[in-house]
Amino acid sequence: MTCEFDYLVIGSGIAGMSFALKVAAKGGKVALVCKTSLDEANTALAQGGVASVTNLEVDDFEKHIHDTMVAGDWLSDPKAVEKVVTNAPEQIRQLLQWGVDFDKKEDGTFDLHREGGHSEFRILHHADNTGYEIQQSLIRAVRSNPNITVFEHHFAVEIITQHHLGKIVTRRTPDITCYGAYVLNLETGSVDKFLARVTLMATGGVGAVYTTTTNPLVATGDGIAMVYRAKGTVSDMEFIQFHPTALYHPGDRPSFLITEAMRGYGAVLRNLKGEEFMQNYDPRLSLAPRDIVARAIDSEMKMHGDDHVYLDVTHKDPEETKKHFPNIYAKCLSLGIDITKDYIPVAPAAHYLCGGIKVDTNGESSIHRLYAVGECSCTGLHGGNRLASNSLIEAVVYADAAAKHALTHAHSYELRHDVPDWNDEGTRHPEEMVLITQSIKEVGQIMSAYVGIVRSNLRLDRAWNRLDILYEETERLFKCSKASREICELRNIINVGYLIMRQAKERHESRGLHYTLDYPPAPSQHRTI
């Protein structure tokens, strides 16, 4: 089957849906493809909120820019930082128009939170489930828009370029162009052609590459892997943010997130002896940026041989705690932990990718007619480390920029009708699914053990050797198998694991989220606000 649209959007988080709504508002016909359902995206799990300067009496753009640069270890692109920070208030207004309900005080002003790395209170939120509130509001807007056709349970396998028209495409080919994507219908098993004037990649992060993650299990880096295989530019993959405080409950995947806002609220970290320890690592204590806190927790766990530490909020007013964090309170209570009386067991988990598909200020990738927005993109905003709550605002600001640029140019792009159908002649369904499931487990173990919070050349070399074997096995299996979600996801996480590991090997310094024992940071590199 061949489907033709003006815009093909792959992914259904805040980035994909806000782009879809903006181009659809101008009359464009949009296909919104997601591999499960509309509500399964990282956006829905974002608890903390959205960072934006709104209280001009105490806050300003310069402060937000400075906080972002400091958190990013001065690797952030100043243009990207300025773009996101200065455009944030306008996009907050847009979210409000789409029905997003941010918490307000009795006087009608926003009830702002402060999170680690921020010098002011500037986090807009909806209780402790901001992302869910945004996701549900956008879903309602998308569902009611007649110009958007939603394709749930559809999995993008490959983007279509000149490669599929018989041209040899290399990383040096100057005019690689995207004409759409081959998409697997998970209900029928057929791989269909989706042709489009413009394609947007909004497939989210890569957390599922690791054994322990706060991401939904759909976060297998599909968009990044597809663009890499299509010879597009992928950058900064070594910068994986591990959330320092995921709820420690063995067997949970994904791990439940204990939001950073709880530390902003006054919670303190303690080791299993009940002792505070952040004073040994950073003067900002529990409000230090995530990379510092995650390494501090990792260090405490390794030093004492423990598998978690504690987050203590018992000194705060119980009713206030319940009011601010109702979902966390309910989740912990279901496990027999009353957070108003008991310490919360926490441990770091893979949380956010700061790198991804390299894009310009319009959100366009190195491949013509292909845009990337949200966590799968690398705008340059985050640099070496993402400042808390900058991700959702980055997604809507760049979705807006991509929509404006695409709307200006899409009418001049022609659909390619000479794209061949997907060829799966001679393939069969894998006889033993265990081959795939076991390989997925192995990738998670390799990445967690050797390419985690603390790295070394020896660990990265070992990861390289192990991943290389899995890559060869998987490519052989893929070539003789019918396309399935399982084999495609395995292929993608191996590609993504390789990119993280290779780009980590190429960075001969400890910077931001990339910490290696072979290049320890010099004392002068320790920067504070």
- Catalytic one among 114, 290, 295, 455? 290
Q: Taking the CA atoms of 502, 81, 391 and 195 in sequence, report the sign of the dihedral they define.
A: negative
Q: At 457, is the secondary structure helix, strand, or coil? A: helix
Give one word for 295, left, alpha or beta, with left for phi > 0 and alpha for psi -120 to 50: alpha
What's the rounded Cα separation, in Å, for the pair 9 and 24? 11
263 is catalytic: no
User: Within 10 Å of residue 433's Cβ, how many Cβ atoms?
Assistant: 12
CB burial class (10 A; 0-12, 13-18, 19+) of residue 395? buried
Following DSSP, what letter does each residue of 498-520 receive, concatenated? HHHHHHHHH--S-BTTB-BTTSP
The enclosing H or E element of 154 equals strand 154-160
What's the rounded Cα separation, in Å, for the pair 440 and 177? 31
Q: Are 492 and 222 in contact (CB under 8 A)?
A: yes
Amino acid at 83: K
What's the rounded Cα separation, in Å, for the pair 67 and 121? 12
308-340 in b/e form (b: 16+ CB < 10 A) is bbbbbbeebeeeebeebbeebbebbeeeebebb
User: Within 10 Å of residue 341's Cβ, how many Cβ atoms?
Assistant: 9
Nearest to 81 by CA among 91, 67, 95, 93: 67
The pair of structure tokens assigned to 478 is 């893929």
Cα 186 to its chain centre, rounded Å, is: 23
What's the rounded Cα separation, in Å, for the pair 207 and 351? 6
The pair of structure tokens assigned to 63 is 């402060």
What's the rounded Cα separation, in Å, for the pair 73 and 383? 7
Strands 234-235 and 356-358: antiparallel
Give long-range contacts, CB 8 A cutoff, 24+ apart: 93-97. Answer: 94/18, 94/396, 94/400, 95/50, 95/134, 95/137, 95/396
Nearest to 435 by CA among 487, 492, 386, 361: 487
- Rg of the chain's alpha carbons, rounded to an integer? 22
Which amino acids are annotated catalytic? 290
